[in-house]
Amino acid sequence: MGRRILFITTDQQRFDALGCNGGTIARTPNIDSLAREGINYVRAHPQNVVCMPSRSTMITGQHVATHGVWMNGVPLPEDAPSIALTLRQAGYRTALVGKAHFEPLLDPFLRFAENRMGRDGSHSELFTMPDGSVVPHRGFDHMEFAGHGAAGNLHYVGWLRANHPEVMAKFVPNLDADLEVTTEPGGDTMAPQVRTTNDIPRDWYHTDWVADRTIAWLDSMGQDDDWFCWMSFPDPHHPWDPPKSELHRVNWRDLDLPAGYVADAAERERILASKPAHWMGWYDGSFVSNYEAPLKWVPATLQADQVREINAMVHVKNELIDEAVGRVLDSIRARGWDDDVDIVFTTDHGEMQGDFGLLFKGPYHVDALMRLPLIWRPARSSGIAPATVTAPVGHVSLAATFAAIAGLPRPGYTEAPALPVDDDDARSRGFERVLTEWDSVLFGKEVGVRTIFRDNWTCSAMLPGTLHDGTEGELYDHANDPLQRVNRWDDPSVRALRDDMLADMWDNLPSPAEPRRSCDAPV
Amino acid sequence: MAFIRRDIHISRAPQDVWDFLGDPARLHEWFPISGCRVEGTKRWIDLPTGITFEEDIHLVDHHQRRFVYSIVNNLLIKDHFGILDVVDDGHGHSIVTYSTQCTPNVLALVTAGAAGQGLANAKKILEGKN
């Protein structure tokens, strides 16, 4: 019997969403307690700021350049490395409950296993690896999927259809009639993707469903089984349509505007104009580079009250997540496992949530999208002391961390060592930088960004693309400019620092896998 | 309207490749669909999700080795035009291209993904690696 692993992820959650990270609105006592008892990483970045590439890094322990899922819509190959498979081969029982998204969601041809399983309600699909071994899909004995609402080939959708079909239309549809990301306005402020009339009972909402199904799977484990369970909440990702019964928790009219929102339009546009051209291009609607940004919505139309209402909805969703986490932790305690369970909590990427007058996500490598919650509450039996780690770390270390927890050697396919347990450990093992990549090609519009965070500076280089010739970039001094409003890329006084960071970044980024795999769907 | 193209090299003579891919009734043997039916210049293809697409066959040109079709009478797909070409690579083998223009745009991406898988399947079948 070894240490069990509960890996909790959310989708599109900011660092400042949690009380333990300075959040003052959403009450998150359960996650805060994990941070208090464990290791809170206060400078954790994803290796990509949209779902599929980021999640592919989590499961493979590889940078985007290596696993090759370079944008949403590019499927992770079925024979890609998987820490779940590694753990399973070591005797662990394995499950993923909630949002997977290693494969495209829009799949009318049912080409992908996730969609086939979700559609027919099965919980595993066997796959023959190149070496001839037959394994469950991505190494999970049990997969049970949910997404952002009541659409798609997902177990949650099948469950709603079978049991509560009357509530399926209560959610904001993800896509419009042209299959573009919806811009449907709602709420008091007519904010995009807000709906305050979703009267689905809270118990039927996907956050609680994911917790329920996780508990059911844990209940099926033998007392001495080793297990790895990835509990993956689809929230607080848009659409912002939590159960109406819970909206009383946060009144948007009581909220201050977030610090990252620049209220004065002229000042906001001056700041955006100082960044590479794709920032202003998205803001004014002239350049929509990625499918995740709704094509028919122009950020320049975003109003302050809409930012406040959207933030209120996100806070409500974050409270529901925390309470669902609390229920799962209670079930683990009830089984007497608590001393031998490691719990890792993170999210796949952040959300602009009003910063710079923007919503959603895209090739914008600032804290809103890159600085993430990451907490590791080691099993008490491990004797690892609580700590706050300020050194930069990334999701690329997660797979090696899970292997280390299981007492396994670091898998050869991983590209980063296990997470440090404190800053001294980080220093001694070379956690100096964290890297993030972006590539997108959407109907001829191409954007590429490579970013390094080091020494409390963020440096991003634009690759040649539709709007950029490869000489542009961003450089931010977090100590003196925590909101990243002053782009110092062209500041001669920090030119040497910029050049040094770029050289460091190119030295440490893996070469991209060739040939680049095709994008098979928008998302 | 979005435009996509996928292509693949197949180590077989163009006529052999065309005999297989140029037969509209054999689409389900290589494309990721569950079945198809041809009546004159009409084709119906069945997707694994239970959706059926109705298509107009515009051209089956055995000389150019070109197949042209459109998805029609579809509530979701407003415009569609697809072309399959089999050309000689100059060394007696084949290059196959599958081009689609489509509205809504995003369905062109999905079609491209399916076409890419279909062409890969066709290559395996025709090169005897299946």
CA atoms in the 13 A half-sphere facing the CB of A245: 8
Residue B91 located in a structural domain: yes
User: For residues A409 and A87, what is the distance between their CA atoms, to the nearest angstrom?
Assistant: 11
Sheet (strand A433-442) strand order: A433-442, A445-454, A457-462, A473-477
Weakest-pLDDT range from A26-35, A462-471, A510-519, B64-73 = A510-519
DSSP A477: E
Q: Chain B: nearest CA to A443, how far in angstroms?
A: 7
3-state secondary structure of A40: strand
pLDDT at A511: 94
pLDDT at A285: 95
Measured between beta carbons, the chain B residues lying within 8 angstroms of A109 are 32-33, 47-49, 110, 113-114, 117
3-state secondary structure of A7: strand
Considering only CB atoms, B113 lies closest to which of A179, A291, A520, namely A520
Least CA distance to A118: which residue of chain B?
B49
Least CA distance to A119: which residue of chain B?
B49
For every residue of chain B, DSSP letters joined together read -EEEEEEEEESS-HHHHHHHHT-GGGGGGTSS-SEEEEETTEEEEE-TTS-EEEEEEEEEETTTTEEEEEEES-SS--EEEEEEEEEE-SSS-EEEEEEEEEESHHHHHHHHHHHHHHHHHHHHHHTT--
pLDDT at A66: 98
Burial class (CB in 10 A: 0-12, 13-18, 19+), A267: exposed
Bridge partners of A230?
A7, A96
Confidence of residue A293 (pLDDT cuts 50, 70, 90): confident
| Binary contact (A110, B49; C-beta < 8 A) | yes
A507 CB neighbour count, 10 Å cutoff = 9
Question: In this model, does residue A312 exceed pLDDT 90?
Answer: yes
Q: Which residue has the tokens 């190119």?
A: A506
Confidence of residue A45 (pLDDT cuts 50, 70, 90): very high
Angle between the N-to-C axes of helices A398-405 and A51-60, in degrees from 0 to 180, rounded to the nearest 10: 30
Confidence of residue A411 (pLDDT cuts 50, 70, 90): very high
User: For residues A505 and A366, what is the distance between their CA atoms, to the nearest angstrom?
Assistant: 17
φ, ψ at A467 (rounded to 5°): -105, -10
Amino acid identity, residue A280? M
Question: In this model, does residue A1 exceed pLDDT 90?
Answer: no
Question: In this model, does residue A178 exceed pLDDT 90?
Answer: no
pLDDT at B68: 98
| Binary contact (A111, B49; C-beta < 8 A) | no
The ipTM assigned to this model is: 0.94
Which residues in A447-478 are b (16+ Cβ under 10 Å) and which e?
A: bbbbbbbbbebbbbbbbebebbeeebbbbbbb
What lies within 8 Å, CB to CB, of A275 at 6+ separation is A474, A487
Bridge partners of B56?
B42, B70
Measured between beta carbons, the chain A residues lying within 8 angstroms of B104 are 178-180
Whether A70 contacts A53, CB under 8 Å: yes
Confidence of residue B117 (pLDDT cuts 50, 70, 90): very high
Q: Are strands B94-103 and B2-10 parallel, antiparallel or unpaired?
A: antiparallel
Considering only CB atoms, B110 lies closest to which of A108, A180, A443, namely A108
- Give me the domain span that covers residue B119: 2-22+61-126
Of A459, A440, A443, the residue nearest A451 (C-alpha): A459
Measured between beta carbons, the chain B residues lying within 8 angstroms of A104 are 110, 113
Measured between beta carbons, the chain A residues lying within 8 angstroms of B48 are 109-110
pLDDT at A423: 98
Q: Chain A: nearest CA to B113, how far in angstroms?
A: 4
Measured between beta carbons, the chain A residues lying within 8 angstroms of B47 are 108-110
pLDDT at B109: 92
| Binary contact (A519, B109; C-beta < 8 A) | yes
B47 — contact with chain A (CB < 8 Å)? yes
User: For residues A84 and A124, what is the distance between their CA atoms, to the nearest angstrom?
Assistant: 13
Q: Chain B: nearest CA to A290, how far in angstroms?
A: 12
Question: In this model, does residue A74 exceed pLDDT 80?
Answer: yes
Measured between beta carbons, the chain A residues lying within 8 angstroms of B105 are 178, 443
Residues of chain A with a CB closer than 8 angstroms to some CB in chain B: 73, 104, 106-111, 119, 153, 178-180, 291, 443, 518-522
User: For residues A324 and A488, what is the distance between their CA atoms, to the nearest angstrom?
Assistant: 42
The pairs formed by A260-263 with CB atoms below 8 angstroms and a separation of 24 or more are A260/A353, A260/A354, A260/A355, A260/A356, A260/A367, A260/A368, A260/A483, A261/A304, A261/A307, A261/A354, A261/A355, A261/A356, A261/A357, A262/A356, A262/A357, A262/A485, A263/A304
Of A42, A2, A47, A4, the residue nearest A20 (C-alpha): A42
| Binary contact (B112, A518; C-beta < 8 A) | yes
Q: Chain B: nearest CA to A3, how far in angstroms?
A: 41
3-state secondary structure of A358: coil
| Binary contact (B48, A110; C-beta < 8 A) | yes
Residues 89-108 of B with CB under 8 A from A: 103-107
B49 — contact with chain A (CB < 8 Å)? yes
| Binary contact (B106, A106; C-beta < 8 A) | yes
Considering only CB atoms, B104 lies closest to which of A107, A153, A178, namely A178
Mutate to test the interface with B, among A105, A520, A523 (most CBs of B within 10 A): A520
Question: In this model, does residue A127 exceed pLDDT 90?
Answer: yes
Confidence of residue A213 (pLDDT cuts 50, 70, 90): very high
Measured between beta carbons, the chain A residues lying within 8 angstroms of B49 are 108-110, 119, 153
Residue B55 located in a structural domain: no
Q: Which residue has the tokens 């071994």?
A: A133
User: For residues A237 and A320, what is the distance between their CA atoms, to the nearest angstrom?
Assistant: 13
| Per-residue tokens: A34 | 């994990």
Q: What is the mean pLDDT of residues A507-519?
A: 94
Considering only CB atoms, B107 lies closest to which of A179, A443, A520, namely A179
Question: In this model, does residue A301 exceed pLDDT 80?
Answer: yes
Q: Which residue has the tokens 């100059």?
A: B90
| Per-residue tokens: A109 | 């041809």
B74 — contact with chain A (CB < 8 Å)? no
Q: What is the mean pLDDT of residues A89-100?
A: 98
Considering only CB atoms, A111 lies closest to which of B51, B106, B114, namely B114
Q: Which helix (H) or strand (E) holds A378?
A: none
User: For residues A423 and A432, what is the distance between their CA atoms, to the nearest angstrom?
Assistant: 11
User: For residues B36 and B25, what is the distance between their CA atoms, to the nearest angstrom?
Assistant: 6
Beta strand ranges found along A324-389 (DSSP E): 341-347, 372-377, 387-389
Question: In this model, does residue A257 exceed pLDDT 80?
Answer: yes
User: For residues A376 and A346, what is the distance between their CA atoms, to the nearest angstrom?
Assistant: 9
φ, ψ at A200 (rounded to 5°): -60, 135
| Binary contact (B116, A521; C-beta < 8 A) | no
Whether A239 contacts A206, CB under 8 Å: no
Q: Chain B: nearest CA to A310, how far in angstroms?
A: 27
pLDDT at A139: 98
The CATH code of the domain that includes B88 is 3.30.530.20
CA A14: distance to chain centroid? 9
Whether B95 contacts B8, CB under 8 Å: yes
| Sign, Cα dihedral of A82, A87, A93, A98 | negative
| Binary contact (A109, B47; C-beta < 8 A) | yes
- Based on the structure, what is the number of domains in chain B? 1
Q: Which residue has the tokens 């320049």?
A: A300
Confidence of residue B130 (pLDDT cuts 50, 70, 90): low
User: For residues B102 and A150, what is the distance between their CA atoms, to the nearest angstrom?
Assistant: 27
Beta strand ranges found along A381-432 (DSSP E): 387-389, 393-394
Q: Which helix (H) or strand (E) holds A434?
A: strand A433-442
pLDDT at A441: 94
Measured between beta carbons, the chain B residues lying within 8 angstroms of A110 are 32, 47-49
pLDDT tens column, B28-78: 999 999 999 999 999 999 999 999 999 999 999 999 999 999 999 999 999
Residue B69 located in a structural domain: yes
| Binary contact (A111, B76; C-beta < 8 A) | no
Please give the mean pLDDT across all residues of chain A: 97
Q: Which residue has the tokens 């796959």?
A: A127
Least CA distance to B109: which residue of chain A?
A521
pLDDT at A474: 98
CATH number of A4-508: 3.40.720.10
Considering only CB atoms, B51 lies closest to which of A108, A111, A291, namely A108
The angle formed by the CA atoms of residues A345, A51 and A393, to the nearest 5 degrees, is 45
